[in-house]
């Protein structure tokens, strides 16, 4: 996603479009983009920097870590923001910044029940649902609440 500096007017420019999924450089067999990477950005120049703010999105097919079922996940970066110092080239490539923000919102442990509507077959154990709520583990810091830190006067 390249921005030509001479095409950015003083008031900025609104860019809407799509890029090929190859810009993501995904080599993961469990992650497959289903469509182009879409963007809706406001791009401008402020002083010696180019800025871009807006929204990025792409639908990806992921594999559930519990049941190994493949499912569609709408990957969205609602508040994309980037700033690039203008150090010489007339064309600024935002691709690495776009790629980084999209990869950061990929779930580390994707689950097919992410939407709250789907029931993951991996949660079934002999016909019964396993408790989907995480169990509360006592924190090591809770012991500090019991400390008596008042100074003792003799």
Spell out the residues 6+ positions from residue 46 whose beta carbon is closer than 8 angstroms to its own.
Answer: none
Residue 40 lies in a domain: yes
CA distance 90 to 88: 6
Residue 134 lies in a domain: no
What pLDDT is recorded for position 129? 52
pTM, 2 dp: 0.68
Domain residues for the domain of 100 are 2-112
Residue 132 lies in a domain: no
Write out the DSSP string of 73-93: EEEEEEEEEEEEE--S-SEEE
What pLDDT is recorded for position 56? 92
Residue 153 lies in a domain: no
* Secondary structure (3-state) at 18: strand
What's the sign of the alpha-carbon dihedral 59, 63, 66, 69? positive
Residue 152 lies in a domain: no
Task: Name beta bridge partners: 77.
Answer: 56
Residue 46 lies in a domain: yes
Residue 123 lies in a domain: no
What pLDDT is recorded for position 149? 76
What pLDDT is recorded for position 40? 93
- From first to last of its 154 residues, the chain has per-residue pLDDT tens of 788 787 888 888 898 989 888 888 877 878 888 888 899 999 988 888 889 999 999 999 998 888 888 989 999 999 999 988 888 778 888 889 988 998 898 888 888 888 888 788 776 643 445 455 555 666 777 777 777 777 777 6
Residue 96 lies in a domain: yes
Total domain count, the chain: 1
């Amino acid at each position: 996603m390249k921005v030509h500096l001479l095409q950015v007017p003083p008031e900025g420019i609104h860019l809407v479009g799509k890029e090929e999924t190859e810009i993501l450089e995904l080599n993961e067999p469990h992650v497959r983009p289903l469509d182009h990477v879409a963007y809706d950005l406001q791009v401008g120049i402020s002083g010696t920097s180019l800025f871009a703010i807006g929204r990025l999105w792409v639908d990806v097919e992921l594999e559930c870590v519990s049941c190994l079922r493949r499912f569609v996940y709408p990957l969205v970066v609602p508040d994309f923001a980037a700033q690039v110092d203008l150090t010489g080239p007339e064309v600024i490539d935002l691709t690495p910044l776009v790629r980084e923000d999209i990869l950061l919102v990929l779930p580390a442990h994707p689950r097919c029940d992410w939407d709250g509507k789907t029931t993951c077959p991996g949660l079934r154990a002999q016909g019964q649902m396993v408790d989907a709520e995480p169990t509360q583990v006592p924190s090591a810091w809770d012991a500090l609440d019991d400390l008596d830190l008042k100074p003792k006067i003799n």
